[in-house]
Chain A
């Protein structure tokens, strides 16, 4: 069974000036272990689709199954737990918690999951894996570079060992060399068996993926 099943999903934002149809009847299956790139023009609905898959948002219509569970039938706590345990989200803006240092940012989902501070050394291990070592991990996000923040964000996304990694333009705010390093890390993670879904504007970045899906006005283009 595909790990992600999207059946005729629509997302409509009701606005005073009229409804905005961000997703218009999308159907798509993604198998476990796939590396999928989502492309399309600005406003075509890429982020919206990723947010539905990431259980951050609920579709207006259609069915969306993540790891066998129907998103539209889950309550807020269940959706939240899905984000904690099954999904790792990597954002263009890194989205680290400014009050926590890099180590604590990575540790945080573990604390949420197990209800206690980490004693296994997993955050340090993951930080080392993404190339962050030494005293840098005690710095707050504002005190390190964008590339370092994104590495920490990847470590955080991985810490609860999620089945699915969602990346919304993870290299969009990075120079091309750093971007390539980040893509290498993601490729490695995919080789280890994780499902990776990547939103990007950049065709070169999309080449890392097995399959590319193009969105146009909320529909699949091909």
Chain B
């Protein structure tokens, strides 16, 4: 094939102008890495977030309505009700139970408070739960899940690790200098690490019985939120609608949410960040394409006599065009291959350090960005080479022969 011969010529020219061509290829390498590594990182983040949150897809959370408007448009009762005053009443809870049965309904008391362990002071979330509810969705890695004594408590994995808590450790809760003084709980179990969750975040929390909680903080029957664990996730929408119809009939009393909304908003904001970063990657490809264009124009100018010779002994325009497009493609392919390999390696490192897990790295959704980035790199090169190649092919052979 004449193509092979012409390809060979393009190849030889690149070899002769190795440094120049290499510099142009480096531009493409960087561009490919930029869009590929960002794509891989984004895919891994999204996959990991999706996986975590879909573990919570069986959860509905009902919390007191905190007012969407704000500003001048206060609630009708007019008072400056702080969020502490808002709670789910036991009447509302009863309604929820009626609607949600036979699914598990878990009313939650929560508070954030100062804690003292040995000499250390810190803060933690305190959750008050019914004994039977605790074992329905939480589990322990050591100790027992049942809180036998009134002042027994379960602690989250992160909290336990940070303060070196063991079974039997004592935690003082409440402000030492405050009026109500402190109360002491005894660790009877350490909870399994749960990571990002939709219901309650237990990793940095202390779980106590509802009785202990209301004794210390008061407010019996005034729940901070109600969690529903749904047996069949297809029921979620119907349940949400039913609760909304019942509780928000007159005014907005409660906010009902599930993990899917949260998932949507997290993935969509992730997507925005990723797109922006890819946009920056695209700019680097644009810069690369300018440098390819430049190299190709230089190549055409330098080889103008050679073009004249080729044309004068019977080389058609199309063949000359092809020769320069080959040259651009070779630079593109070399750049794309190096870029592809490097973005694979860099992508792995970035995912490991930023996402924390490479569990999703070797999936199609993640690695598809490698061929995708490489393809774009090659295409950019070919497009950048189009005009120089066209110029080369339309040069008047006599002018080209007499050049210099």
Contacts and interface: CB of A to CB of B under 8 A. Distances in A.
B2 interface: yes
A195 to B, nearest CB: 18
Give the most central of B16, B306, B313: most A CB within 10 Å: B313
Given A115-B1, A117-B5, A97 B314 contact: no
Given A51-B398, A57-B398, A99-B9, A81 B314 contact: yes
Interface string B1-38: 11011000100110010000000000000000000000
A41 interface: no
A144 interface: no
B312 interface: yes
User: What 3 A-B pairs come out closest when comparing CB atoms?
Assistant: A84-B314, A83-B314, A99-B12
The majority secondary structure among interface residues of chain B is helix
A5 interface: no
Q: How large is the interface on A (under 10, 10 to 19, 20 to 34, 35 or more residues)?
A: 20 to 34
Contacts of A76: 316-317
B312 A95 contact: yes
A80 B310 CA distance: 10
A84 B13 CA distance: 23
A80 B2 contact: no
B5 A111 contact: yes
A57 B311 CA distance: 12
Nearest to B394: A76
Interface string B305-332: 1101111111111010000000000000
A84 B313 contact: yes
Given A57-B398, A99-B306, A83 B313 contact: yes
B247 interface: no
Nearest to B313: A109
Nearest to A48: B398
Given A95-B401, A117-B5, A108 B12 contact: no
Interface string A143-162: 00000000000001000100
B397 interface: yes
B314 A85 contact: yes
B313 A108 contact: yes
Q: How large is the interface on B (under 10, 10 to 19, 20 to 34, 35 or more residues)?
A: 20 to 34
A35 interface: no
12 contacts: A51-B398, A80-B311, A81-B314, A83-B312, A97-B309, A97-B310, A99-B12, A99-B16, A112-B2, A112-B313, A112-B319, A115-B1
A51 B308 CA distance: 13
Nearest to B5: A111
B314 A109 contact: yes
A98 B1 contact: no
Contacts of B398: 51, 56-57
Nearest to B315: A112
A220 B9 CA distance: 42
A56 B9 CA distance: 23
Contacts of A109: 313-314
Contacts of B309: 95-97
A96 B319 CA distance: 18
A174 interface: no
Contacts of B306: 97-99
A56 B313 contact: no
B314 A112 contact: yes
A27 B311 CA distance: 27
